[in-house]
């Protein structure tokens, strides 16, 4: 949440900061602002401009002559204080010489504020952030690095900050605790940002900061110190993302692009990871010995939102196929529960961004208790990816739309690979392995064929988008897909939707059924099909409209429901990949019909880096 960028170098600073913020907008879009240093002016003052709303509003507010030689920028997802100009970042000290942008929450800001007010500081915003520049000013004696170092010792909570001082040309000081910060190393220019998308147009050389580290940046150099003030020499990583992968291309929005990229993104997740000869999977990044893998007594998965739904599918599959007890739990719940960590359990943290605060803190807590935690992440170099004990990168490519789509199906691919690997170490025969593996190989094509239902789903969205409530129902491995369908619809169309196990329907949700409340059923062709069809009949008997996503050729279901979207017939264990596609498209087209901002829905941010 909140995007940060800093730049020191010869390019025009204001347009560069604006462009970086445009790329970071998915991290928050309540307000935005920049501060640039303007050496040479008689008063050496900082140039600051802010606007409520999106980056376009900031661009419109930007004076033509506002430029400087170095600067910082911020796009905000409000936590403390309303969405107002006064609360927009950057925030400054009373003199206006120090400017700070911040991502995170300063938990002790009230006591710091009281202390600073006693010393004569005047506060102009309702934010927790404003104590930071005031505190830095309190310690400032001509050296910004020294002042930031002193100030952060008093801060409790989470922060990724970038700070500048009007009298220290070209210098940016950044500090990290709990919120991501990355240094971009250019030739004769340096960047600092909350994630690499902000600077990938200029450099692919990056250095990831760890918690407790402070970086001192000038146009030509950067140096990092840790909590104990020791100098830290860090590896410079190379980002392999192409600039084109963070552009919309010919698509009207990122979500549509990302939905239609899924055949390729799933293929990338699988690529090079299948051992056809031995009908198993190869997952080099797990960092686990064969003995450890074959002795796993239980798998526990922690995640949030869509990633949690992928974990639910993974848990079902591991139990069903590999015969390993498995559970997927909400990171925000488990982290405060003091969970029992059994010695033979293997844990996974699933996260597209690799920065979700709840998932990260839950992972650290589980690691503290001695367990091995693997990451299933998309963003290379993200905090969860770096701090986990090993894992699987899903290689979806940058996912920019707030609603996760392609990362979800790639997370599924990671679980299918892992299941194949461990199942083959247990009871799965070579023949069963071959069948599982070849279905997995066919998934990109199955998804491509399902995407061909685009126009049919769009017509369905035109028919149903005025409904105020929806039920999404599935059983077994499709129950998490029902949850995911409901989440997608809620988050981008703002239509209320509930995902339920079809088996639970009669225990309460059926009371909602009426001619105004459509139900979306996921109908497999496995041992649960008949049960699901009975549930459909129960809804129809009560006058509820029913949409079914089912298997092509299932004429019985088709004749029973109001609208039917077929997916290609396959091994029923793989229907999560295909059946989620019409639900993603349905949410997308309903949102379009309702005129919603599909990529940046209200109140949300892509990566939830605060609790
Ligand atoms: C998905 O559409 C949501 N925007 C959200 O639920 C998301 O999946 C969740 O915040 C977890 O994010 P992560 O995968 O980056 O950890």
Which phi and psi angles does 222 have, rounded to 5°? -145, 145
pLDDT at residue number 249: 86
12 is catalytic: no
pLDDT band at 140 (very low <50, low <70, confident <90, very high): very high
Residue 66 clears pLDDT 90, i.e. is over it:
no
Residue 593 clears pLDDT 80, i.e. is over it:
yes
How does pLDDT run across 380-412, given as a tens digit for each residue?
Answer: 989 999 999 999 999 999 999 999 999 999 999
pLDDT at residue number 245: 77
Which numbered atom of ligand 1 lies nearest the CA of 607? 15
Residue showing tokens 């009975």: 534
Which numbered atom of ligand 1 lies nearest the CA of 407? 14
Residue 90, preceding peptide bond in cis (omega within 30° of 0): yes
How does pLDDT run across 277-292, given as a tens digit for each residue?
Answer: 999 999 999 999 988 9
pLDDT at residue number 450: 98
Domains and CATH numbers, the chain: 3-239 (3.60.20.10), 247-450 (3.40.50.10490), 452-611 (3.40.50.10490)
Q: Which residues contact 287 (CB under 8 A, 6 or more apart)?
A: 389, 390
Distance CA 454, CA 253 (A): 15
Residue 68 clears pLDDT 90, i.e. is over it:
no
Residue of 608, 609, 610 with the most ligand 1 atoms within 8 Å of its CB, for mutation: 608
307 CA to middle of ligand 1, Å? 6
Residue 40 clears pLDDT 70, i.e. is over it:
no
352 CA to middle of ligand 1, Å? 7
For ligand 1, atom 4, name the residue with the nearest CA. Answer: 403
State the burial class of residue 538 (Cβ atoms within 10 Å of its Cβ: 0-12, 13-18, 19+).
middle
| Active-site residue identified among 50, 97, 488, 606 | 606
| Pocket-forming residues, ligand 1, beta carbon under 6 Å | 304-307, 351-353, 356, 359, 402-404, 491, 607-608
How does pLDDT run across 507-531, given as a tens digit for each residue?
Answer: 999 999 999 999 999 999 999 999 9
Q: Is the pTM of this model over 0.75?
A: yes
For ligand 1, atom 2, name the residue with the nearest CA. Answer: 403
* pLDDT, mean of residues 22-42: 86
How does pLDDT run across 338-396, given as a tens digit for each residue?
Answer: 999 999 999 999 999 999 999 999 999 999 999 999 999 999 989 999 999 999 999 99
The secondary structure of 248-296 as a DSSP string is -TTSSSHHHHHHHTHHHHHHHHHTT-EETTTTEE--GGG---HHHHHT-
Which numbered atom of ligand 1 lies nearest the CA of 608? 10
The secondary structure of 562-583 as a DSSP string is SEEEEE----GGGHHHHHHHHH
305 CA to middle of ligand 1, Å? 5
Distance CA 69, CA 394 (A): 39
* pLDDT, mean of residues 154-173: 96
- Give the residues across from 5 on adjacent strands: 73, 193
How does pLDDT run across 214-265, given as a tens digit for each residue?
Answer: 999 999 999 999 988 999 999 999 988 777 778 888 999 999 999 999 999 9
Residue 537 clears pLDDT 90, i.e. is over it:
yes
The DSSP H or E segment spanning 48 is: strand 47-52
27 CA to middle of ligand 1, Å? 12
pLDDT band at 42 (very low <50, low <70, confident <90, very high): low
pLDDT band at 124 (very low <50, low <70, confident <90, very high): very high
The whole-chain average pLDDT of the chain stands at 95
| Active-site residue identified among 2, 163, 377, 500 | 2
111 CA to middle of ligand 1, Å? 33
- Give the residues across from 278 on adjacent strands: none
Which numbered atom of ligand 1 lies nearest the CA of 403? 2
417 CA to middle of ligand 1, Å? 22
Which numbered atom of ligand 1 lies nearest the CA of 606? 4
Which numbered atom of ligand 1 lies nearest the CA of 303? 16
For ligand 1, atom 7, name the residue with the nearest CA. Answer: 305
The sign one gets for the Cα dihedral 199, 201, 207, 210 is positive
Residue of 385, 404, 609 with the most ligand 1 atoms within 8 Å of its CB, for mutation: 404
Which numbered atom of ligand 1 lies nearest the CA of 411? 14
351 CA to middle of ligand 1, Å? 7
Distance CA 447, CA 451 (A): 6
* pLDDT, mean of residues 40-64: 88
pLDDT at residue number 65: 81
606 is catalytic: yes
* pLDDT, mean of residues 84-90: 96
404 CA to middle of ligand 1, Å? 6
Residue 20 clears pLDDT 70, i.e. is over it:
yes
599 CA to middle of ligand 1, Å? 13
Residue 203 clears pLDDT 70, i.e. is over it:
yes
Nearest to 336 by CA among 357, 359, 362: 362
């Amino acid at each position: 949440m909140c995007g940060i960028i800093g730049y020191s170098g010869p390019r025009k600073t204001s347009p560069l900061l604006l462009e970086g913020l445009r790329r970071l907008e998915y991290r928050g879009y309540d307000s935005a602002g920049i501060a640039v240093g303007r050496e040479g002016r008689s008063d050496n003052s900082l140039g600051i401009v802010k606007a409520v709303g999106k980056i376009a509003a900031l661009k419109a507010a930007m004076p033509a002559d506002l430029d400087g030689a170095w600067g910082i920028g911020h796009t905000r997802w409000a936590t403390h204080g309303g969405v107002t100009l006064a609360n927009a970042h950057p925030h400054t000290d009373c003199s206006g010489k120090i400017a700070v942008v911040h991502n995170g929450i300063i938990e002790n800001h009230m006591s710091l504020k009281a202390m600073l007010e006693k010393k004569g500081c005047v506060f102009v915003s309702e934010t927790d952030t404003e104590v930071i520049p005031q505190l830095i000013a309190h310690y400032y004696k001509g050296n910004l690095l020294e002042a930031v170092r002193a100030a952060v010792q008093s801060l409790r909570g989470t922060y990724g900050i970038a700070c500048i001082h009007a009298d220290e040309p070209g210098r940016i000081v950044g500090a990290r605790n709990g919120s991501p910060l990355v240094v971009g190393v250019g030739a004769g220019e340096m960047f600092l940002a909350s994630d690499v998308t902000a600077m990938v147009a200029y450099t692919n050389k990056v250095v990831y900061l760890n918690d407790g580290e402070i970086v001192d940046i000038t146009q030509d150099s950067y140096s990092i110190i840790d909590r104990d003030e020791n100098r830290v020499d860090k590896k410079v990583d190379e980002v392999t993302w192409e600039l084109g992968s963070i552009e919309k291309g010919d698509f009207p929005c990122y979500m549509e692009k990302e939905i239609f990229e899924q055949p390729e993104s799933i293929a990338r997740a699988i690529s090079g990871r299948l051992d056809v000869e031995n009908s198993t999977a190869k997952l080099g990044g797990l960092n686990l010995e064969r003995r450890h893998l074959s002795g796993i007594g239980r798998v526990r998965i922690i995640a949030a939102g869509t990633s949690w739904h992928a974990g639910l599918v993974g848990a079902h599959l591991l139990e069903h196929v590999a015969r390993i007890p498995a559970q997927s739990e909400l990171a925000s719940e488990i982290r405060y529960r003091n969970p029992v960590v059994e010695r033979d359990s293997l844990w996974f943290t699933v996260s597209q961004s690799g920065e979700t605060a709840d998932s990260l803190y839950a992972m650290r807590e589980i690691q503290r208790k001695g367990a091995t935690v693997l990451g299933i992440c998309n963003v290379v170099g993200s905090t969860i990816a770096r701090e986990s004990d090993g894992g699987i990168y899903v290689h979806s490519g940058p996912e920019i739309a707030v609603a996760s789509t392609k990362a979800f199906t790639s997370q599924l691919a990671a679980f299918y690979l892992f299941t194949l690997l461990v199942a083959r170490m247990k009871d799965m025969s070579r023949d069963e392995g071959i069948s599982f593996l070849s279905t997995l190989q066919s998934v990109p094509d199955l998804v491509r064929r399902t995407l061909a239902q685009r126009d049919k789903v769009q017509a369905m969205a035109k028919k149903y988008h005025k409904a105020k409530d929806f039920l999404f129902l599935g059983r077994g491995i499709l129950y998490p897909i029902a949850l995911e369908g409901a989440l997608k619809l809620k988050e981008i169309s703002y239509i209320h939707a509930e995902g339920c196990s079809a088996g639970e329907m009669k225990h309460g949700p059926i009371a909602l059924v009426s001619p105004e409340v459509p139900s979306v059923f996921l109908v497999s062709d496995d041992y649960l099909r008949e049960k699901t069809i009975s549930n459909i009949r129960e809804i129809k008997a009560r006058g509820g409209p029913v949409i079914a996503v089912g298997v092509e050729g299932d004429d019985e279901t088709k004749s029973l429901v109001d609208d039917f979207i077929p997916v290609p017939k396959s091994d029923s264990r793989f229907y999560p990949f295909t059946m989620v596609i019409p639900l993603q498209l349905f949410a997308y087209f309903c949102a379009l019909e309702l005129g919603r901002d599909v990529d940046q829905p209200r109140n949300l941010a892509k990566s939830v880096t605060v609790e």
